[in-house]
Each structure stands twice: as C-alpha cells, then as structure tokens.
Structure 1
Amino acid sequence: MFFMLNILGVIIVMGIVYLCSPRKKEVAWRAIATLLVLEILITWFMLKTTIGGWIINKIASFFTWLIDCANEGIAFVFPSALANDTVDFFFSALLPIIFIVTFFDILSYFGILPWIIDKVGWLISKASGLPKLESFYSIQMMFLGNTEALAVIRGQLANLKENRLLTFGIMSMSCISGSIVGAYLSLVPAEYVFCAIPLNCLNALLVVNMLNPVKISKEEDIIYQPAKEEKKDFFSTISNSMLIGMNMVIVIAAMLVGYVALTAAVNGLLGIFVHGLTIQKIFSYIFSPFAYLLGLPTKDALYVAQLMGTKLATNEFVAMMDLKKHLSSLAPHTVAVAATFLTSFANFSTIGMIYGAFSSLLSEEKSAIIGKNVWKLLISGIAVSLLSAMLVGLFVW
C-alpha cells in the first residue's frame, strides 16, 4: 500500500507542476521521460548495487578526509574546541566550510572542476535533448551553489531573453553546494545526501521543462567560457576563497540564530491564542498530504511534514538538526525520504539570494523576471525536493 502511494506521489507531483505550466503544449515529454528513467537507474545503482554502495562510501570517505583536514586548522586556532567528544555544531559543521570552499576553488583554478562539469553537462544534454547551457548549469550549481554558478555564466546571461533567464532562476532553487556537503554529513546519513545531489540536478531540469519550457536554436545553444584575463593568481584565489568561506560560515550561523529565534517568537505568540499551537504544527498539516504521498504512515507523515515546513520557512540545517535527534527511532524509509527532501537550498531565503544575484549581474529590468515569478520558484523548489525523496523512497523500505 505505502509503495503504491509512493509511486502515486511521483505522478501527482508531476501532474501539479504540469497544471501550473503556462505553455503546456511546448513541454518536451521525451526529455522528461529520459530524465525520469535516468533518475530511477541512478537511484537503483547507488542504493541497491554493491558498486553503488562502494562509490558512496568512497565519496563519503573523501569528504570525511576533507573535514579531518579542516579540523587540523580549527584545532590550531581553537585548540580546546576539538579536545572533547562533545563538539558543537559551529565547530563540527560550519567552520570546515572555510577549507572545503578553498579546496573546490583550487580544483576550479586548475581546470579540474570545470572539466568535470562540462563533460557531465554535455552527457545530460545529449541524453535529454535539453539545451547545453541549462544542462551545464544544473551540474555547475550542484558543485558551486546558485549564486556562484550564476556568476560563472554571467557573460551569457546578459544576452538571454527573459523567458530563458527565468529558467535559470527556477533551477537555482534546487541547488546544493559541494562546500556544504560536509555539514550535511554531520547531520544525516551519507547515502541519502549523495543520492539527493544528482537527483536534484536532474529533477531541476525535469521540472523547469514543464514549468517554463523554452525552445532555442542551435546558434543560441552555446556555453560561455570565461576569458583567461579574468583569472587571478593562485594565492589571491585561495586567500579570497578562505574569506568567502568565512563569510558563508557567518551568514549560515546568523540565519540559524535568527530563524530559530524567530520561530520561537512566533510559537510564543501562537501559544497566546491557542495553547500548544506552533508554526511546526501548522506546517505539518499543510504539508501532510504530500508527506503521505512519500509512502509514510500517519505518525511519520506528520513529523516529516513538520520538517518540510521547517525547511521551507527557515532552512535545511534547522530541519536536519531536528531529524538527527530522531534518526534511531524512525523507520528506514522515513529517514530516507526525509533526509533526501532536506538536502537542497529550497526555501524562502534562497529566493532572496537568487534575486540578489540577478540584480547584481543583470539590469533591473531583466532581474525583475524573478520578482514576477516567485510562485514558480517556490513550486519548483518544493516539487524537485519531493520528486527526489519519492524516487529514493521507492528503493528503501
């Protein structure tokens, strides 16, 4: 029964996105079918095969090594921080971001990361029939994050029509950044984080193809390559990366403090009118129909719905910290769908980040396309996270 609900959930979510599309006749169903089959194969491979499990373990070990390297730097500056078994979230999950951002920027500096992004993006474009730039961007934002990926293709964004610009705004809701993976691994199981990463990438293409289908000519189907003179020297690059990493730590910490405090304040005000009423309870009922479609029993559905609402209203870290407390008491299927759903940047604050990036890179007239279509960004972010969670849920019971 729950398995069939899970399958039904995929159909319903795709149906809702299709109904929201303003140009239903232009939807490329061949591309959607290809992407869906590819996602099912990837999920099966990663969760149900020995080789897939081995790959996940190796990738997880690689990020564990990165975090261990980061901890060497943290221990040097804060010698008492890592000296005991009880390490707080700031030191164990946030500060390692400084080194991980730097490491990924070094890979970019020597052309290793751009090469990987380019080749994988080309393969996705060939498999799906979707434009090269969109396929390239879906991979790029997975490694770099939305604002950084937008900055890389800024030269081409300036020449795109508004409708195609909206495509990149919609896709940006479903990103993840390689620099933040280490923080996720400290909170939820690695296998679901690494499943969510490629699934979010492909589902972003799938959803945007329904929500905002775009037809382009071969002449328009090109990828911007940054000029060599844009490249700084090595030590300037890594020094700037460290400062960017520290800025990310401060921003995430500020958001966590602010949103947790704001949630507590809202809950306090709600409690004045209705005893025991919280924003988490409100969201649990709003999102509960979708949580049931993840193939969950009533008790788990209400809890996962609460996590879904918390992520949307605050961010994934707040929800992941709550999930971490309950991992041992939840069924494997519940853990799988919840962890997968939470692994992305899809929330209200991300819309502000995307609008800010567009405003800084493009004219006010062109960046206004984001403000006019906030509802499409929200639908995309939620739909991508739901589809990724539902696909993973099909293979974990």
Structure 2
Amino acid sequence: MDILLGIVAIAVILGIAFLMSNDRKNINYTGVIVMLVAQLITTLVMFKTEVGRTIIDGVSWVFNKLIKYGSAGVDFVLGGIAVNDGATVFFFNVLLLIIFFATILSVLTYLKILPFIIKYIGQFISYITGLPKVESFNAVNSIFFGQSEAILAIKSQFSHLSENRLYIVSASAMGSVSASIVGAYINILPAEFVLVALPLNMFSALIVASLISPVKVSKEEDHVDIHEVSNANSFFEAMGNGALDGGKIALIVAAMLIAFIASLDLVNAVFSSLFNGFTLQEALGYVLAPIGLLMGIPAGEVIDAGAIMGTKIVTNEFVAMLQFKDMVPSVSEKTVGIVTVFLTSFANFSSIGIIAGTVQGIDPDKGRKVSGFGMKLLIGATLGSMLSATMAGLFL
C-alpha cells in the first residue's frame, strides 16, 4: 500500500510540474525517465544493500572525524566559556564547525580535486540525460558549494542562458545544499538520510525544472568553458580564504536563525490569539498533510511532520531541523527519513532573494527575470524536495 501511495505521490508531483510547464512540446522525457531511474537505483543501493550501507557508514565516519577535528579548534578558542547545566550551545557546537568544513572545501578546490570531480560527473550526467553541459555542471557544483557560489562559477556562461536555462540553473541552486554545512546538518539529524538527500535532490531539481522549463540546445551552443579554480596563490592562502568564508556563513546562519525563530514566535503569538491557540505551524501541517500521506508519512504523524515541512518553506531548513530534532525520538524511522530528506535543501522564501541578488550582480537583466519567476522557482524546488522525500519513503 505504501509503495502504491508513493507512486501516486510521484505522479502528482510530476503532474503539477507538467501543468506548470511553459513548453510541453520540448520536454526531455528521456532525460526525466533516466533521472528517475537513477534516483530509484541510488535509494535502493543506499538503503537496501550492504554496499550502500558501507558507503553511508564510510562517508558518515569521515564527516564525524572532521566534526571531531573541527571541534578541537572550537574548543581551543571557546573552551573556557562556561555553559549552565551542561547545556549545548548551537552556535559553538554546530555553526562554528562550518568554518572548518569551508576550509576543507577551499583547500580541495585549490588542489583541483573538487573541480576534477565536478567536471567529469557533470559531463556524465549530461551524457546520460541529454541535458546541456552548463546545467549538468551547475547541478553537481551545487552539491558542494552554496547557491551563490555555484551560480558565480558559471557567470561566464550567462550570455548563453535563455530564460528557461536560467530557471534550471536557479532551481538546481535552490534545491541543493552546501557541503560546508552538511556537517552541521549531521549534528542535528541522522547522517544516513542527510547524505542520501544530496544526490536525490540534485536529480529532483533537474527533473522538476526540466518539466517546468524545458531546454533544447544545439551542439554548437552546448559547450562549457568553466574553470572552477581557487583564487588563492598558495595552500595557506586557500586555508585562510576558506576559514574567512566559513566564518561569514556561520554568522549569516546565526543571524538568520535569530531573525526567523523570533519572527516565527511573534507570528505564532498573533496567530494563536486570532485563532484560539492555533499556531501557524499547525495550519501548515494541515495544508501539507494530504501530500505528506502520499509521500509515505504515517497518518498519526503527518500533521506534525507537515508542520515541520511548512516551517522550512517559510523560514529555512535550520529552523525546521532544530524543531524536528526534538520530535525524532517519538516518530517512526519512515517519518524521520522522509522529513529529513525534505529538509535537506535551500528551498525556502529567503533563497529567492539570495539567488536573484547573486544573478543581479552578474547580469542585472537576468536578475530581474529571476525575481519575476521567484515564486515559480520556489514551487518547483519544493516539488523537487517532495520528490526526493517520496523516493526515500519508498525504501523505508
């Protein structure tokens, strides 16, 4: 029964994307099917095979080791700060680890290890799906770098991007997360679901965006001249640049959490007074409950899970993850997996401004276009998150 509901959910998600399409005649159905199969194989291998479990355990081990090493740096600087009752401080124990992860990414980029991986995975995806090389490269790049950084990496190609191609590029950026903050996510929610979400969301963003904004590019136009190289002149400069970038990200996330959590409490207070104790999250839970049931969330947990998913859309993934963390012990593994995969993306209202602002800095005219289809972008990215979560639910 759960598998049947999951198939219905996938059909509904793809159907909505199809109805939103601005060029149904040119939809690359072969590419969509190939990517759906790739998602099914990825999820099957990761959740149901010994090979997949070994991969997840290995990657989790690497991240946990990095978290341990990063914590040593945080403890050296802040270890003397006393915290009452043994409580943990999110900024110290989670956000500041972003600095170390950003440093690792910067060094790997300087050593040309990441550029090599991204280039050839992108070429492989382009080959098997028929998608243009720029879009494929950007989708892979978005797994490792933040939405702004991924877009900046293809700025030399912006003159070749039609509005539909611009939509796909923006959707990949919004549907991804940055590897520099994956360690922070793993500190909050189960690592196996966070890690599986990375490739699933990459494919989901491309699937949904390819349906909404299909592209056809001639062989002459389908070229990519992107050099994802470090601006650093030495290994230690790369470390310094990464640390500074990580520090900025940590402070930005902290500032956004303060603003969003405080604003959410304010909205809930107003909402509760107007609707007799009914909160905004509860309302969002009921709105998202129907699709949550189709995605595979048990009926007894779907309202609370829908509230978390809705919170992520109107605030950001960190706010939702922190709220969901307290629910994890009391809900089923299936709900934990589905909701965690859904949360592991940048699909929220604030990302519209981040992406539009980044594009505006590269090309003002295209920045206005991104602002114009901002809501369509958010809907598409949210559908992508739902598709990834449904895929995970099929195998849980």
Q: Given the two structures, how large is their TM-score scaled by the length of structure 2?
A: 0.96
Q: CA deviation at 1:297?
A: 2.8
Q: 1:4 maps to what in 2? A: 4
Do the aligned residues in 2 keep the contact of 1:18 with 1:24 (CA within 8 Å)?
yes
Do the aligned residues in 1 keep the contact of 2:313 with 2:348 (CA within 8 Å)?
yes
Distance 1:391 1:174 in 2: 15
Moved more, 73-82 or 48-57: 73-82
Q: How is 1:87-236 mapped onto 2 (pairs within 5 angstroms)? A: 87-226=88-227, 232-236=233-237
Q: How is 1:331-370 mapped onto 2 (pairs within 5 angstroms)? A: 331-362=332-363, 364-370=364-370
Do the aligned residues in 1 keep the contact of 2:74 with 2:96 (CA within 8 Å)?
yes
Q: 1:29 maps to what in 2? A: 29
Moved more, 62-71 or 288-297: 288-297
Distance 2:86 2:344 in 1: 26
Distance 1:88 1:189 in 2: 19
Q: How is 1:311-390 mapped onto 2 (pairs within 5 angstroms)? A: 311-362=312-363, 364-390=364-390
Distance 1:225 1:289 in 2: 43
State yes or no: 1:393 paired with 2:373: no
Q: CA deviation at 1:273?
A: 1.6
Q: CA deviation at 1:292?
A: 1.3
Moved more, 338-347 or 274-283: 274-283
Q: 1:59 maps to what in 2? A: 59
Percent identity, please: 37
Distance 2:11 2:380 in 1: 15
- The AA in structure 2 aligned to 1:196 is A
Give 5+ residue unaligned stretches, structure 2. none
Do the aligned residues in 1 keep the contact of 2:115 with 2:229 (CA within 8 Å)?
no
Moved more, 386-395 or 154-163: 154-163
Q: CA deviation at 1:229?
A: 9.8
Do the aligned residues in 1 keep the contact of 2:110 with 2:230 (CA within 8 Å)?
no
Q: After TM superposition, where is structure 1 displaced by more than 6 Å over at least 4 residues in a row?
A: none
State yes or no: 1:241 paired with 2:246: no
Do the aligned residues in 2 keep the contact of 1:75 with 1:81 (CA within 8 Å)?
no
Q: CA 1:48/1:82 → structure 2, altered by over 3 Å: closer, same or farther?
A: farther
The Cα offsets for residues 254-283 of structure 1, whole Å up to 9 and x where unpaired, read as: 111111100111111112222212110121
The Cα offsets for residues 21-68 of structure 1, whole Å up to 9 and x where unpaired, read as: 011111111111111011100100011001110110110111111111
- The AA in structure 2 aligned to 1:23 is D
Q: 1:49 maps to what in 2? A: 49
Secondary structure in 1 aligned to 2:301? helix
Moved more, 75-84 or 365-374: 75-84
- The AA in structure 2 aligned to 1:140 is N
- The AA in structure 1 aligned to 2:394 is L
Root mean square deviation of aligned Cα: 1.7
Give 5+ residue unaligned stretches, structure 1. none
Aligned length: 395
Q: CA deviation at 1:230?
A: 5.3
Q: CA deviation at 1:227?
A: 8.8
Do the aligned residues in 2 keep the contact of 1:211 with 1:376 (CA within 8 Å)?
no
Q: CA 1:87/1:229 → structure 2, altered by over 3 Å: closer, same or farther?
A: closer
Secondary structure in 1 aligned to 2:391? helix
Do the aligned residues in 2 keep the contact of 1:173 with 1:380 (CA within 8 Å)?
no
Q: 2:252 maps to what in 1? A: 251
Q: CA 1:40/1:246 → structure 2, altered by over 3 Å: closer, same or farther?
A: same
Distance 1:203 1:152 in 2: 21
Distance 1:223 1:270 in 2: 50
Q: CA deviation at 1:202?
A: 0.9
Secondary structure in 1 aligned to 2:390? helix
Q: CA 1:228/1:106 → structure 2, altered by over 3 Å: closer, same or farther?
A: closer
Q: CA 1:229/1:343 → structure 2, altered by over 3 Å: closer, same or farther?
A: closer
Do the aligned residues in 1 keep the contact of 2:34 with 2:129 (CA within 8 Å)?
yes
- The AA in structure 2 aligned to 1:269 is V
Moved more, 179-188 or 369-378: 369-378
Do the aligned residues in 1 keep the contact of 2:157 with 2:225 (CA within 8 Å)?
yes
Q: CA 1:106/1:225 → structure 2, altered by over 3 Å: closer, same or farther?
A: same
Distance 1:64 1:170 in 2: 30
